Amino acid sequence: MSRFTNYFSKHVRERFTKEIELIGINRRGGDFIFTYKVLPFINIRVISNYNATVLIDEIEHAVPCEYNDDLITVRVSEAYFNDEPDNLSVQLYSFNEKMRIKRSKELKARTQYFVNNKLYNIKVKRDVHISKRYMTLNFTDETQLVNDANVLKDSLVLTFNTKVDKDSVLFLSYIHKFVEIPTTLVDDYTLKVTGLEQLTNGEAVFYIAQKEDVYLLKGKLKEHELFTEYYSYTLKTEPELTLEVKEHVIVLESFYVSEIKDNVVTVNIQLEKDILINQPKLSIFNPRLDTSVDIDLTDQLRCDIPIGVLIDGFTNKKINFINDGIVYQLDIRYAKITDDMVGKHLHDNEYLNTHFYRRKDNYLGFKVSRPRIRRRMTSIKDFTFKGFMKGRESFSNAENVIIFEDRISQKTVEYPVDDKFKIKVVPEDIINLMSRGKTVIDIYVGMRNEDGDIIAREKIPYKHSDYKKDNFYDLKIVHEKDREVYLLVTTTPFNNLKIETFVVPKSVNTNVTRDNNIWLLGERTDTAQENGYALFKYLQDKQVEAYYVIDGESKDYEKIKDEKNVLVFGSEAHYDISLRAGVLLCTHDFENILPYKPAKEFFNYGDTFKVFLQHGVLGRKPAEYHKKYYEDPFDIFIVSSSSEKYDVVVEEMGYDEDEVIVTGLARFDQLPIGKKGKDILLMPTWRDWINTDERFLNSEYYHRYKNLIENERLHEVLKKYNVKLNFYPHYRAQQFFTKEHIEATDNIEFITLGERTVQDLLIEHALLITDFSSVSFDFTMMKKPVIYYHFDEDRFFNRGILRPVNETFLGDIAETEELLISYIEDSIKHNYENKVKDISGIIKYQDQHNCERIYEAVERKKL
């Protein structure tokens, strides 16, 4: 290390080289060569002693690492693959600290490789992860010959030199993916390739799997071409059988928006080359939803497009050209473009930013964005709110308003304001909004039109926000005849303002002391299904008074209401126990088990002993339980392994080593190990960025799962093996995933919230399909297989990932619908074989004594 860097603290030195990009992958002599580029936060050249390791089965091996200025090369010998490991991780260190790796956007290198007759995929997420794909398949060095190929209207027919059967599988190997392609058996030597429309651009090599062996396809055939609605396909045979897929592209000479009138855009296009025009159309394609609207063109290639079609959903569109039923991409890189629509378009009182544009792929697109409101609250005192909002000029005939909305009932009260405002909020206005004693009132700024409708609104940030879950900036207590109403101004993790409320009946004695022998437990307010309830049941015969709190209107309450010490949330008994309990234990924040704000200013809350039971295993998405988010943090933080403790909770979340206890999750005690179960459970988690019904129905998330449930190939697989797939949607999505909205066969069932407990569902099923949900750990604990569906991994982890993918996603990962179905069929055919043998890296204890360890840790630490 240079003397220059020694002048800086370790923390500062780490910041110099905190991020690094993988910019190259090469294979030389069988070995892998990885090239990285250091991205310093500060533009100073810093010399560091880098070193690299490869991690296999929890054992690190040093590997050669060379560096020159900002470039680092790491060599991983092919010898590390000799025992056919399921996965390897290549990790770089600087100053003895792990470096966070990201993939360069410019990386074009191959990420699929065959090593020792196995297929490996390279993925970058915090480290370079090399994982085995299609674990049961053996990729031989042998080849299969194709004797003949015939091109039909929308398919290829391949005739082989040797026999094939209905279980033979065809694959296409791209540089970045290895995909199965649908086939049907024609006869003993012939397969018909269908589903070509699902393939993507690029050149791929054919392989065939027969039983467990996979062969490269070859054959001396003439070149074949196939022309379908969206793509052209070229079948080549040298040096191996390959398929080149290309989009249809037509080059524009000019594009002209000539008139905008009565909410209609008149468009003229001119093609660079003359073609025979037959039923021409422009297709307005929404890539996010995979939907399109076709508009007829005249023979002079002129058409009128309703502006509503272009701005629908306020999503960017791709403009395609259709001629004689063939869909062409419009290449405009050299076109002369005249767009009178550039600028602002008035739509429902909003001036939208709209224009046609050249996309990154050089094709024609349409961009639309809604106006933003600049806003900020600058001071809050005694329920007087002072701030500003700007942007009214982007709206027509609209006035500024501040909106207070109850999060549950969505009832609102609105205050008209100027661009700079100072308003005194009437506490009774907020009390009248409250849907229940304890609720949240969100605060928005918005624009209201002449009809009184809110046409735009956004949450408002607070200039002096110091976000903590247990603090507040202003407090108003309203004394009523039978109760006291508390109104607290707080902020969200994104520094947006809200008002939290709670009510204390005057009949409740608040002058009490805390008793460490009284324990109050719970989960999310409406559930009794996991760690909180499992520990509550265990404590029944212990020397403590254990109480469980739950919403009296929840379905789970009906199942446990007759049990001893079950409290209805908000009842007088709940108030009484919550004020006297000395030990609080919850799977989520204590908002879920206390009828008041968990803050040390209220009712001696600071004297309680706080235990975070967790509701999963940490390590995937950054969690919201960082120590910095609390003025009065947890006293005990429960985890399931040493790596979770040190790598996540201590290093990433700021807790002291003695505050984090490795016990395992309480609910794991109730899981039968090795019980096979039957059928398949589909159980995805939620996406934080979906916050309205409209956004949900327009989301990729909804359309991906809808398409999966309606997939004909999935229906055939389930019917063929007489297997049921039970879909348990996230509770926020249940109303949309039903047989009334989605076409499903008798082999697919939808399970509603409360119909069965999550734990019972996990126990009953043989295979779990999920995405990023922590329920996968329960399934893994039971030694049953999990398949992960990661179609939006980059967006889900846009705020980072706490541990490398291979450490917590134990099982096959499918990025596409077809690959997911292939994995499902493969698992069924192999009698739901569990491929994951060692789970000690994520779950240390597998002995069903987790509740005992938690109890003993609390008893030991609370004194």
* SS3 per residue for 655-695: CCHHHEEECCCHHHHHCCCCCCCCCEEECCCCCCCCCCHHH
As a whole number of angstroms, the distance between CA 385 and CA 415 comes to 11
Q: What pLDDT is stored for residue 139 in this prediction?
A: 94
Q: What pLDDT is stored for residue 471 in this prediction?
A: 96
**What is the average pLDDT across 402-430?**
96
Of the pLDDT bands very low, low, confident and very high (cuts 50, 70, 90), residue 68 is: confident
Of the listed ranges 121-130, 206-215, 538-547, 563-572, the one predicted with least confidence? 121-130
pLDDT for 258 beyond 90: no
Task: Write the DSSP symbol of residue 541.
Answer: G
pLDDT in tens, 703-717: 889 889 988 889 989
Could you tell me which residue, 455 or 167, shows the higher pLDDT? 455
Q: What pLDDT is stored for residue 798 in this prediction?
A: 66
Question: Nearest CA to 203 among 158, 234, 231?
Answer: 234
As a whole number of angstroms, the distance between CA 403 and CA 442 comes to 8
Residue with tokens 């989520």: 588
Q: What pLDDT is stored for residue 639 in this prediction?
A: 96
Q: What pLDDT is stored for residue 203 in this prediction?
A: 92
Of the pLDDT bands very low, low, confident and very high (cuts 50, 70, 90), residue 44 is: very low
Q: What pLDDT is stored for residue 836 in this prediction?
A: 82
pLDDT for 16 beyond 60: no
Phi, psi of 449 (to 5 degrees): -85, -175
pLDDT in tens, 548-592: 999 999 989 999 999 999 999 999 999 999 999 999 999 999 999
CA atoms within 13 A on the CB side of 773: 24
Q: What pLDDT is stored for residue 486 in this prediction?
A: 97
Tell me how far CA of residue 684 lies from CA of 253, 608, 737, 833, in angstroms. 47, 35, 12, 22
pLDDT in tens, 355-383: 999 998 999 999 999 999 999 999 999 99
Of the pLDDT bands very low, low, confident and very high (cuts 50, 70, 90), residue 799 is: low
Of the listed ranges 23-32, 374-383, 659-668, 683-692, the one predicted with least confidence? 683-692
pLDDT for 60 beyond 70: yes
**What is the average pLDDT across 102-123?**
89
103: helix, strand or coil: strand
As a whole number of angstroms, the distance between CA 696 and CA 704 comes to 12
Residue 433, amino acid: L
Q: Report residue 453 as tokens.
A: 């409708």
**What is the average pLDDT across 833-842?**
83
Q: What pLDDT is stored for residue 45 in this prediction?
A: 45
Residue with tokens 């000690």: 840
Could you tell me which residue, 399 or 89, shows the higher pLDDT? 399
Q: Which of 157-166, 288-297, 544-553, 817-826 has the highest mean pLDDT?
A: 544-553
**What is the average pLDDT across 624-653?**
93
Of the pLDDT bands very low, low, confident and very high (cuts 50, 70, 90), residue 180 is: confident
As a whole number of angstroms, the distance between CA 736 and CA 742 comes to 8
Q: Count other Cβ atoms within 10 Å, centred on residue 182.
A: 19
Could you tell me which residue, 408 or 102, shows the higher pLDDT? 408
Of the pLDDT bands very low, low, confident and very high (cuts 50, 70, 90), residue 800 is: low
**In residues, how long is the chain?**
863
Q: What pLDDT is stored for residue 302 in this prediction?
A: 94
Contacts of 334 by beta carbon, 8 Å cutoff, 6+ apart: 251, 272
Of the listed ranges 336-345, 677-686, 728-737, the one predicted with least confidence? 336-345
pLDDT for 807 beyond 80: no
Could you tell me which residue, 741 or 74, shows the higher pLDDT? 74
pLDDT for 792 beyond 90: no
As a whole number of angstroms, the distance between CA 557 and CA 550 comes to 6
Mean pLDDT of all residues in the chain? Answer: 89
Of the pLDDT bands very low, low, confident and very high (cuts 50, 70, 90), residue 86 is: confident
Tell me how far CA of residue 172 lies from CA of 107, 136, 699, in angstroms. 21, 18, 29
pLDDT for 694 beyond 80: no
Q: What pLDDT is stored for residue 322 in this prediction?
A: 95
Q: What pLDDT is stored for residue 4 in this prediction?
A: 42
Q: What pLDDT is stored for residue 368 in this prediction?
A: 92
- Give the burial class of 382: count Cβ atoms within 10 A of its Cβ; 0-12 exposed, 13-18 middle, 19 or more buried: exposed
Q: What pLDDT is stored for residue 804 in this prediction?
A: 67
CB 296 within 8 Å of CB 342: no
- Give the burial class of 166: count Cβ atoms within 10 A of its Cβ; 0-12 exposed, 13-18 middle, 19 or more buried: exposed
Q: Report residue 526 as tokens.
A: 């409406």
pLDDT for 730 beyond 70: yes
pLDDT for 728 beyond 90: yes
Of the pLDDT bands very low, low, confident and very high (cuts 50, 70, 90), residue 40 is: low
Contacts of 372 by beta carbon, 8 Å cutoff, 6+ apart: 391, 394, 458
pLDDT for 15 beyond 50: no
Buried b / exposed e over 663-673, threshold 16 CB at 10 Å, is: bbbbbbbbbee
**What is the average pLDDT across 750-763?**
85
Q: What pLDDT is stored for residue 9 in this prediction?
A: 44
Q: What pLDDT is stored for residue 3 in this prediction?
A: 42
Q: What pLDDT is stored for residue 48 in this prediction?
A: 63
**What is the average pLDDT across 645-673?**
93
Q: What pLDDT is stored for residue 18 in this prediction?
A: 54
pLDDT for 640 beyond 90: yes
